[in-house]
Amino acid sequence: MIKYLKSAGSKLEMLDKAAEGCWISVTQPSSEEIEFLINDLGLDAGFVRSSLDEEESSHVEIEDEQTLIIVDTPVADAQKSDTTLFYTMPVGMIITDKNIITISSRENSILSEIENGAIRNMQTNMKTRFVLQCLLKITAKFMFNLKQIEKISLGLEKQLQGAPKNEEIVQLLGLEKSIVYFSTSLKANDVTLEKINRGRVIKLYEEDQDLLDDVLIEIKQAIEMASIYDSILHGMVDAFASVISNNVNTVMWRLTVITIIMAIPTIVFSFYGMNTDLPLPYTWFATLAAVVLTVIVAIVLLKKKK
């Protein structure tokens, strides 16, 4: 799908076709739309394909007066099992002399929010400011999703304090994996921002310097937040692994005690069942001996456990 949007005052209005100074939003394009982008709009074919590659990492390229900026964006996908899957996907921003084009291989909530006016005073003709505002929005979304991960992990921690279930432990491991994805993507985005900050990628204006500084500060805070949450989740997983191990040891100890106690009467009655001469060969004595020995062993084992 291709949308054409242009600033009209403080809002974005939809256009029927491309115009100079407009934002071209491309989401999940068909093969015909890809050909249109390359042949009619004159976009670099390699830039378009890189933007649609879900394995592409964050980087910057310049070719024939076109600049490609690929950044990773966070995705929170709600599952049918009442769980949320967090991961990242790349979004390409191609800057030409007339327009700025964003390309995403799938529906992206951040681009949808921007289209619906999530960023105030968005000026599509000011390409540098547009890019920085999008990067600030993406970083803010990372921080929002990191806080969501923290809330989910706290809920899982309360559930795991009772009887841990496999589903809860698997979800905790999934959150830890999501944090790794976020941390890797944030660091890659930070490298891309540092390249932009040097002024060799896109033209920087003095009035945009404060905005760029805000983006750099936000992304470093997000990286630090991801690192802290990763440490917390890692420690939580290790702690619950120890708890589960202790629970297994406790169960095995109880089973061992029960086995030993139940074996004593069997041993006593086995001796008296042999065809040999034993003192006091009476049923009541064998029963009494089995009971007394069982009680003594049980007391010794219980005291040892304490």
- The packing angle between helices 127-160 and 166-197, to 10°, is 160
39 HSE (CA, 13 A, CB side): 6
DSSP per position, 193-244 = HHHHHTTSSS---GGGHHHHHHHHHHHHHHHHHHHHHHHHHHHHHHHHHHHH
Q: Is the distance from CB of 75 to CB of 182 less than 8 angstroms?
A: no
Check whether 84 has a pLDDT greater than 80. Answer: no
Distance of CA 219 to the CA centre of its chain: 16
pLDDT greater at residue 276 or residue 270: 270
pLDDT greater at residue 239 or residue 190: 190
What single DSSP character describes residue 57? P
Kindly state the tokens that stand for 286: 């064998």
Per-residue model confidence (pLDDT) at position 165 = 67
pLDDT average, residue stretch 78-98 = 81
Domain regions of the chain by residue span:
2-246
pLDDT greater at residue 94 or residue 242: 94
The C-alpha angle 167, 171, 177, rounded to 5 degrees, equals 145
Q: What integer best gives the mean pLDDT of the chain?
A: 82
Q: Long-range contact list for 150-159, CB < 8 A, 24+ apart? A: 150/229, 150/232, 152/84, 153/229, 153/232, 153/233, 153/236, 157/236
Among the ranges given (37-41, 186-190, 289-293), the one the predictor scored with the smallest mean pLDDT: 289-293
Among the ranges given (64-73, 139-148, 149-158), the one the predictor scored with the smallest mean pLDDT: 149-158
Q: What is the pLDDT of residues 259-273, one digit of tens each?
A: 888 888 887 777 777
Pick the CATH number of 2-246 from 3.20.20.100, 3.40.50.2000, 3.40.50.720, 3.30.460.20: 3.30.460.20
What single DSSP character describes residue 105? S
Check whether 161 has a pLDDT greater than 70. Answer: no
Per-residue model confidence (pLDDT) at position 187 = 92
Cα gap 85→64, rounded to integer Å: 39
Q: Is the distance from CB of 25 to CB of 91 less than 8 angstroms?
A: no
Per-residue model confidence (pLDDT) at position 306 = 54
What single DSSP character describes residue 99? -
Q: What is the band of 162 on the pLDDT scale with cuts at 50, 70, 90? A: low
Check whether 276 has a pLDDT greater than 70. Answer: no
Q: Is the distance from CB of 27 to CB of 107 less than 8 angstroms?
A: yes
Q: What is the band of 275 on the pLDDT scale with cuts at 50, 70, 90? A: low
Q: Is the distance from CB of 198 to CB of 216 less than 8 angstroms?
A: no
Among the ranges given (128-142, 263-277, 285-299), the one the predictor scored with the smallest mean pLDDT: 263-277
Q: What is the band of 280 on the pLDDT scale with cuts at 50, 70, 90? A: low
Per-residue model confidence (pLDDT) at position 70 = 92
Bridge partners, residue 144, by sequence = none
pLDDT average, residue stretch 179-208 = 84
pLDDT greater at residue 291 or residue 79: 291
Q: What is the pLDDT of residues 23-77, one digit of tens each?
A: 888 999 888 888 888 888 888 888 888 888 888 888 888 887 888 999 999 888 8
